Amino acid sequence: MTNSLVTPLTKRYGESIDTYFSGSPLNRVSFLRDNYAFLSDALTNPTTRFLPMQKLEPSIFPDTGLLNTLVYDDLKDAIGNPFEKPEPEAVSAWDSSKESPLLVFLGIDESKSGGVTYGNYSGRAYFALDVTVPVDSTTPYATALADIVDKVEATGAPFTPVRTQYVLNYSEAAIYAQARSYMDWNIRNPFCAGCGTRTMSVNGGGKRVCPPTDRGVAKGPCPTRGVVTNIAFPRSDPTIIVAVVNSAGDRLLLGRNKRFPAGFYSCLAGFCEPGESIEESVRREVWEESGVKLGKVAIYASQPWPYPASLMVGAIAEALPDGESIHLEHDPELGDAQWFPFSVVRDALTIAERKSNILDISGEPTEAPIKVPPSKAIAHNLMRAVVFENAHLPKI
């Protein structure tokens, strides 16, 4: 998705790009997350929408590809109102034995009128709710959550994996990406990294704290409870993905992960390590995985990847003239890597764009020598930017 406004910067560097899983219509109003009066109003407003999520998957209507949502009346029996008291009072009253369903405030859609209003901000609020029924059936809210799951399933919108089926449109995928990453992070961090006791979700699911007391009794010392460190925020893990061009400018380096079948190729990718720049990370990963040595690295676009919390930084890079030999012996990740002529990649991209947006890695390719990721994947757009003349903009 591109923003077609032409400005001095876009003339020089190209149009801005919203990749899949980015470009959310929501204003996160992150500065209001600790304002429980606002969150309480948002929670109980009849226009507010709640994304039910089961094991981190959303409920999707198969015919339209739209997210299924609930209203407060559908789920108030399960969640009550966790924002009734101001946040400091809620932290003081913390009782680790009383868990409640995980609820995450996502933001407000200011294009929708009639929703919650706070100062200059007004719109339809969105929350995500974890409706996964606890394994322990004695959990007080287990029955209420099971009722919500029944209600969701009766609408004909099953809980659907999004990772390999890009069925959601851009806006809805971006809302889901935020919901999934925040929810996953909360679920993975039930205990304090400093002292091992239970943590508490605050800021509408945007932060976790290690409260100083539990059921009114002071807890032991905790290194995270200092002046500014009594907090744990969700993380984003930078990852690089790169389209590598040979020094002659007519071939593209693509790799096949060992998990993929013969014939499916994509851009090389990997995690950034602490203490390296994006450009260094690109050079290291490409050399480790393929043996190819890089010169210039240019950052092209980025994409949130909520599995669980990656931020993929897409780059285009050039191989050094004497560094183009492929060696796979450093890193066992790739089963194969090859320099493909632009014409081969163009054919594969064109076929992928004609087909659905389902990530098709099954079977041998039949219409082109190789298969490549679908058009909503950043890898596809990086390849496209390189092999189509004057096509520096993503095809979506």
Minimum CB–partner distance for residue 196 and Zn ion (Å): 7
Cα dihedral: 258, 259, 261, 262 (round 10): -10
Q: Which is nearer to Zn ion, 14 or 190 (CB)?
A: 190
Minimum CB–partner distance for residue 81 and Zn ion (Å): 27
Give the contacts of 104 (CB within 8 A, at least 6 positions apart).
127, 128, 129, 179, 182, 183, 186, 204, 205, 206
Minimum CB–partner distance for residue 209 and Zn ion (Å): 9
- Residue 192 within binding range of Zn ion, rule CB under 5 A: yes
The sign of the torsion formed by the CA atoms of 155, 159, 165, 170 equals positive
- Residue 210 within binding range of Zn ion, rule CB under 5 A: yes
- Residue 194 within binding range of Zn ion, rule CB under 5 A: yes
Q: Candidates 69-77, 204-212, 226-234, 339-347 — which segment interacts with Zn ion by CB under 5 A?
A: 204-212
Minimum CB–partner distance for residue 232 and Zn ion (Å): 9
- Residue 361 within binding range of Zn ion, rule CB under 5 A: no
Q: Candidates 2-10, 75-83, 105-113, 190-198 — which segment interacts with Zn ion by CB under 5 A?
A: 190-198
**What b-and-e string marks burial along 110-129, b requiring 16 or more CB atoms within 10 Å of the CB?**
beeeebbebeebebbbbbbb
Look at the block and give the residue holding tokens 């974890």. Answer: 130
Question: 3-state class of 233 per DSSP?
Answer: coil
Pairing, β 2-3 against β 213-214: unpaired
Q: Which is nearer to Zn ion, 186 or 281 (CB)?
A: 186
Written as six digits, the tokens of 9 are: 């910067």
Minimum CB–partner distance for residue 194 and Zn ion (Å): 4
Pairing, β 2-3 against β 16-17: antiparallel
Q: Which is nearer to Zn ion, 104 or 222 (CB)?
A: 222
Instruction: Give the total of residues touching Zn ion (CB under 5 A).
Output: 6
Q: Map the footprint of Zn ion across residues 220-279, applying CB under 5 A.
A: 222, 224
- Residue 200 within binding range of Zn ion, rule CB under 5 A: no
Q: Which is nearer to Zn ion, 224 or 257 (CB)?
A: 224
- Residue 323 within binding range of Zn ion, rule CB under 5 A: no
DSSP per-residue string spanning 333-376:
TEEEEEEEEHHHHHHHHHHHHHS-SB----S--SSSSSB---TT
Q: Map the footprint of Zn ion across residues 212-231, applying CB under 5 A.
A: 222, 224
Written as six digits, the tokens of 204 are: 């509408």
Q: Which is nearer to Zn ion, 224 or 236 (CB)?
A: 224
Q: Candidates 102-110, 169-177, 210-218, 238-246 — which segment interacts with Zn ion by CB under 5 A?
A: 210-218
Q: Which is nearer to Zn ion, 192 or 317 (CB)?
A: 192
DSSP alpha helix (H) spans, 22-141: 36-44, 72-79, 87-92
Q: Which residues pair with 242 in a beta bridge?
A: 268, 315
Minimum CB–partner distance for residue 249 and Zn ion (Å): 55
Give the contacts of 307 (CB within 8 A, at least 6 positions apart).
163, 180
Q: Which is nearer to Zn ion, 164 or 229 (CB)?
A: 229
Residue 8's H or E segment, with its range, is: helix 8-13
Minimum CB–partner distance for residue 230 and Zn ion (Å): 9
Residue 286's H or E segment, with its range, is: helix 278-290
- Residue 195 within binding range of Zn ion, rule CB under 5 A: yes
- Residue 190 within binding range of Zn ion, rule CB under 5 A: no
Q: Candidates 80-88, 206-214, 228-236, 326-334 — which segment interacts with Zn ion by CB under 5 A?
A: 206-214
Look at the block and give the residue holding tokens 């995980």. Answer: 102
Q: Which is nearer to Zn ion, 198 or 392 (CB)?
A: 198
Which residues here bind Zn ion, judged by CB under 5 A? Answer: 192, 194-195, 210, 222, 224
